[in-house]
Structure 1
């Protein structure tokens, strides 16, 4: 019986360091990328990319083109995110930076494919593009762990949008919990105004938002105005998927009257929803059929009529 050979493992760190020195190194490179809107030139090595990732196998083809090859243009990919992906492919590790992570979070190698807001891909892409079973989730997990550690008011809404777009449940939960604790600040960010309706809905359904309903209604109107300008659609049409989650019955009568007047000038909320809120005031109780619309949030400021509502904050 043949004696099995002895496998000798060298030190991992010097090996990783040597390969890292080849990232974006013109030396021995045989493929060139032009990346991002700034058209940054990035050098790489065909054999290494192809053996690590099926995406590059398909992109680069089995044989190099004769003569001087034309660069591969990836104009929609942020250069910093692309270099992070290359570093992981070359070394199996990656050094992440706060502002590059949102573009790197989606399933590998989605950063190569365009904006995270518009990609139709799902986690199945990860399955198809990484050879090693242990590696196909590692890059994603690294990015998600990093995002959770660096979450702040400016980053959280962008991270929430990524989580909703790609079905990253744990990240979505962490982002929502962060926004619940820092609601006032988060609602003032550009990231909040750029949320999709599907990302905004779970926020508006939360009882734990630390914000008063009057301020939340103002934020929802600002969000709808931005969406209306981008989509060239009426404000009320853009707001339709989310306004039912606004709890108008929490407003005092004077506030509700002011909202009704503003709504005449700039329609945002269906008239019947405002009528329902007035019914709560007239009947001096919450509408049991639509109990959530009368339930106070964590940040709801007290009004005299709140004692008549059926459902206090839980």
Structure 2
């Protein structure tokens, strides 16, 4: 009696060249041929073509968008209505599509922060990681605060730490940038809480005052209200008597710093005691110039 052929007892995944599929799929990006969904992107209403099956399989947000559309629309004509993304940069959206189609992305300093924002909003964690890696490798004095602000806004702890380390290294240059003056109060707080800033307290206070005046104009709010939380991180105990006197005179113009906070610094100079002083306000930063009275701040001043 003839025996039936034996069935293979095991199997193996045999892979082809890993570059072939992404290369092929990249040709589908914004290609109207065989596309079944369109997006109208940006203020100039640029039309971008895509493929539902790819977007839905790679991104839960798109999967949900298309599923809802199927539930709400009944005719094939209604399904052809484009999605409007009026507030999105077309180049940013194309970068997101590039990642969805090929698992790679072409980044540059102009679009990367916006791509990071989109990655967070679309739940694309691998794209987020690629953006963070690119940003940290290409940080500049001009972009450091802008990147820090994005990290604070979107809760990106790893990017926040790397941006802060860069800001600590180049503090003097960074406080002169427009992006520093455009920080939110939370963004600025994350900088002022650092002990490793390479700057003395006097120019740092001047930079904070300039930030407060710019923010006051933009938000149409009084300077003291704008800076109510920020000024708590200024270390007035590090200032000499002469510097404190000058600060008090400057403060008469805008009331940036509460009188009670300045009074605490005067009290310290009078008593030369560190009791009841907030520990972090007595700590010298990395760039703090040494003054004679700092010996009374020990051990906080080191």
Q: Give your verdict on TM over 0.5.
A: yes
2:285 equivalent to 1:297: yes
Cα deviations by residue, 1:58-99 (Å, 9 ceiling, x for unpaired)? 323237841793432212222222111100111111122222
Given candidates 2, 11, 15, the residue that maps to 2:21 is 15
| Structure ID, larger Rg | 2
The equivalent residue for 1:71 is 82
Say which SS state the counterpart of residue 66 (structure 1) adopts: helix
Say which SS state the counterpart of residue 143 (structure 2) adopts: helix
Structure 1 gaps of 5+ residues are 113-125, 127-135
Cα deviations by residue, 1:195-237 (Å, 9 ceiling, x for unpaired)? 2222222311211101111111111112212222222211101
1:157-168 aligned at under 5 Å gives the runs: 157-168=145-156
The equivalent residue for 2:134 is 146
The equivalent residue for 1:197 is 185
Q: TM-score, normalised by structure 1?
A: 0.84
The equivalent residue for 1:276 is 264
2:75 equivalent to 1:87: no
1:196-235 aligned at under 5 Å gives the runs: 196-235=184-223
The equivalent residue for 2:3 is none
Q: CA deviation at 1:23?
A: 0.9
Given candidates 94, 105, 113, the residue that maps to 1:102 is 113
Task: Tell me, in whole angstroms, the C-alpha distance in 1 between the residues paired with 2:64 and 2:33.
Answer: 24
Choose 164-173 or 282-291, whichever is displaced more.
282-291
2:168 equivalent to 1:180: yes
Task: Tell me, in whole angstroms, the C-alpha distance in 2 between the residues paired with 1:109 and 1:187.
Answer: 28
Task: Tell me, in whole angstroms, the C-alpha distance in 2 between the residues paired with 1:295 and 1:263.
Answer: 23
Is the contact between residue 282 and residue 301 of structure 2 (CA under 8 Å) also seen in structure 1? no
2:65 equivalent to 1:59: yes
Query: Aligned-pair RMSD on alpha carbons?
Result: 2.4
Task: Tell me, in whole angstroms, the C-alpha distance in 2 between the residues paired with 1:293 and 1:223.
Answer: 20
Q: TM-score, normalised by structure 2?
A: 0.87
Task: Tell me, in whole angstroms, the C-alpha distance in 2 between the residues paired with 1:103 and 1:258.
Answer: 42
Task: Tell me, in whole angstroms, the C-alpha distance in 2 between the residues paired with 1:225 and 1:292.
Answer: 25
Is the contact between residue 294 and residue 301 of structure 2 (CA under 8 Å) also seen in structure 1? no
Is the contact between residue 288 and residue 310 of structure 1 (CA under 8 Å) also seen in structure 2? no
Q: CA deviation at 1:143?
A: 1.6
Is the contact between residue 285 and residue 308 of structure 1 (CA under 8 Å) also seen in structure 2? yes
Is the contact between residue 55 and residue 109 of structure 1 (CA under 8 Å) also seen in structure 2? no
2:51 equivalent to 1:40: no
The equivalent residue for 1:250 is 238
Q: CA deviation at 1:256?
A: 1.5
Is the contact between residue 169 and residue 198 of structure 2 (CA under 8 Å) also seen in structure 1? yes
Task: Tell me, in whole angstroms, the C-alpha distance in 1 between the residues paired with 2:85 and 2:172.
Answer: 38
Task: Tell me, in whole angstroms, the C-alpha distance in 2 between the residues paired with 1:2 and 1:107.
Answer: 49
Task: Tell me, in whole angstroms, the C-alpha distance in 2 between the residues paired with 1:294 and 1:55.
Answer: 48
Query: Structure 1 residues 31 and 261, CA, compared in 2 at 3 Å: closer, same or farther?
Result: same
Given candidates 13, 29, 35, the residue that maps to 1:29 is 35
Say which SS state the counterpart of residue 142 (structure 2) adopts: helix
